[in-house]
Amino acid sequence: MEDQHSIAIVGGGIAGAAAAFFLTRKGARDIVILERDQTAGAHSTGRNAAILRTLISDPVLRAVARESAEFYRKPPEGFCTHPILDAVGLYLASREEDSHQLLSCLGNGRDKNAPWRAHPAPLYEQVPLLASGLTAVLYQPDEGVLDVHAILQSFLQGACREGAQLRTSCEAMRLCVRNAKVEGLDTSAGFLAADHVLLAGGGWAADLAMDAGYPLPLVPYRRHLLVTEPLWQVDRRWPVVWILGDEFYFRPESGGLLMCGCDSVPVSPDQGEITDPAEVERIAMKAAQWLPALADVRIARVWAGMRTSAPDQRFVIGPDPRLSGLYWAAGLGGHGITCAPLVGELAAQWVAERASTHPSASALVPDRLIG
């Protein structure tokens, strides 16, 4: 039996959910979100570190992150019943020889919202277990940890209250095209007719388009995280600490510490969540270097997730010029949670209004990746 919707969103993670939310705010109602798993957000969205970090070296992504952070600080009326940002603070730090990486994240010093280089002493006062050697420091007191589950559910519920439908356990199998225009999707539940298809499937986002003859060079990269056992030495109000050069970050979680060694190995999407013991050992080695007092702690939980990126590391948001009715919200490269509000807004502008005048929009469209 044929099913007709004006807009089909492939992927119920943070990008698809945010796009659906902002589409309904623009008056769109005939929207269906297709999620192949039983639960939305089970992959990259649910396997990230939940950190709000706007200190990004790319100026376009930094601007997107800063605008999105304002959404989290002051969400729309009724978006969520409790605060979605725990502003414990975020330190970006490095040795002196790596300070150029740090300062590339600073942006234009004339920007009133830009952080300034700070003295390392307050960092060491707050996190006394941290090894010496960090001399270059940036500090954002109003950043920290996001409630990812609450954010995702708020986007989804907000969209569904306005008429969007979320269909779980429904996989998009094939993009259907007629006369150089999208006509819908073959799904595991049958054919779904749609005038517009938004690809927001994370590590799998490019598969449907590639199979239909419209490839984009998006590559998933695997990254590992772990959480230690509860530790009496850890103050749950410690800030997020992100060390550049060595690429290691940590923050309090479940009474212990969440840690990441920032590995980045290209994988197929179906291999992206398989843990590699060698990468877990690298995290432990970096932890022993920067938190030597915790060198022998036990690991409570380990997992891997995907960060999907374009070759230039920028997001891919907007219409595909090769196929009328095909849109992208993909390649978020590990910044998806931080940047979801503006990612969703930009995707909604392109789908609902066929244009975007936002200053960051032109730098993120798929055209740049099509030879």
Average predicted confidence (pLDDT) for the chain: 94
Instruction: Name the domain count of the chain.
Output: 2
Q: Where are the beta strands (DSSP E) in 200-347?
A: 219-228, 240-243, 248-253, 256-260, 265-266, 299-309, 316-319, 326-330
Q: What is the DSSP letter of 141?
A: T
- Domain ends where: 267, 293, 309? 309
CB atoms within 10 A of CB 253: 21
Q: Which two tokens stand for residue 344?
A: 């969703």
Is the pLDDT assigned to residue 301 strictly greater than 70? Answer: yes
- What's the token pair of residue 64? 């997107």
In a domain, 56, yes or no: no
Averaged pLDDT for residues 245-272: 96
Which helix (H) or strand (E) element contains residue 156? helix 148-161
The letter for the amino acid at 205 is A
- In the listed set 260, 293, 309, which residue is the last one of a domain according to the structure? 309
CB atoms within 10 A of CB 163: 11
pLDDT at 302 over 60: yes
* Main-chain dihedrals φ then ψ at residue 151, nearest 5 degrees: -65, -50
> What would the pLDDT profile of 20-41 be if each residue is shown by its tens digit?
999 999 999 899 999 999 999 9
User: Does 299 lie in the same domain as 153?
Assistant: no
Residue 31 domain flag: yes
The answer on 299 and 155 residing in a single domain is no
Distance CA 198, CA 142 (A): 33
User: Cα separation of 176 and 183, whole Å?
Assistant: 6
Q: Do 181 and 246 reside in the same domain of the chain?
A: no
What is the pLDDT at residue 219?
A: 97
Residues 251 and 346 in one domain: no
Is residue 210 one of the residues assigned to a domain?
yes
**Residue 68 CA neighbour count, 13 Å, CB half:** 29
Q: Cα separation of 201 and 354, whole Å?
A: 21
pLDDT at 97 over 50: yes
Rounded to the nearest angstrom, the gap between the alpha carbon of residue 5 and the centroid of all alpha carbons in its chain is: 27
Per-residue pLDDT at 114: 56
- 284 within domain boundaries: yes
Q: Which residues pair with 186 in a beta bridge?
A: 174, 191
Residue 371's pLDDT band, with cuts at 50, 70 and 90, is: confident
Report the CATH number that the domain containing residue 344 is assigned in CATH: 3.50.50.60
Q: Are residues 295 and 305 in the same domain?
A: yes
Same domain, 247 and 207: no
CA neighbours closer than 13 Å in the CB half-sphere of residue 35: 21
CATH number at residue 235: 3.30.9.10
Confidence of residue 112 (pLDDT cuts 50, 70, 90): low
Indicate if 274 and 170 belong to the same structural domain.
no
Last residue within a domain, chosen from 286, 309, 332:
309
Is residue 315 assigned to a domain?
Answer: yes
Residue 329 falls inside a structural domain: yes
One domain for residues 251 and 268: yes
pTM comes to 0.95
Residues 158 and 303 in one domain: no
Is the same domain home to 288 and 164? Answer: no
Same domain, 301 and 274: yes
Tell me the CB-side half-sphere exposure of residue 333, using CA atoms within 13 A. 17
Cα–chain center distance at 282: 23
Predicted confidence at residue 4, as pLDDT, reads: 54
Per-residue pLDDT of 355-365, as tens digits, reads 999 999 999 99
> Terminal CA-to-CA distance of the chain, rounded, Å?
38
- The answer on 347 and 275 residing in a single domain is no
208 in a domain, yes or no? yes
Query: What does the pLDDT read at residue 1?
Result: 34
Query: For residue 263, what are the CA distances in angstroms to 17, 203, 334?
Result: 27, 16, 12
Could you tell me if residue 243 is inside a domain?
yes
Expressed as residue numbers, the domain containing 274 is 90-141+219-309
